[in-house]
Amino acid sequence: MNSFLGENAIYARDIPKREEWPTFTGEGEYIHIEFIRAIDIPQGDFHIPDEMMVGKLHYSFTGTAKKWSHKMRQEHGKHDWLWWKSEIITKWANNSWRF
């Protein structure tokens, strides 16, 4: 058995399905804050391992954000949710937002 699946099988049945996750277009003021919170909450509540969470994360990006995420993945490789969160904030934050 794949050790990743074996160790994390209990999580797989309880975490939200891919189609239940929020989407992120990268458009709209402060929308990145709502998106980050919408990811942080289930990750904390369900103790979703980064490997599973980041895999679902890429399905959440649409439009401009999807193009950006593909470029970031090509340029920087695989990273955990904390890295992606930081990059989302860097890309979409402005001087007047607060997290």
What pLDDT score does 25 carry? 92
Q: What residues contact residue 53 under an 8 Å CB cut-off, 6+ apart?
A: 39, 43, 81
**Residue 87: what pLDDT?**
96
Half-sphere exposure of 93 toward its Cβ, with a 13 Å CA cutoff? 13
24: helix, coil or strand? strand
At CA 34, angle to CA 31 and CA 39, rounded to 5? 125
pLDDT beneath 50, residues of the chain:
1-2, 97, 99
The pLDDT assigned to 96 comes to: 52
pLDDT at residue number 95: 57
Looking at residue 9, its pLDDT comes to: 58
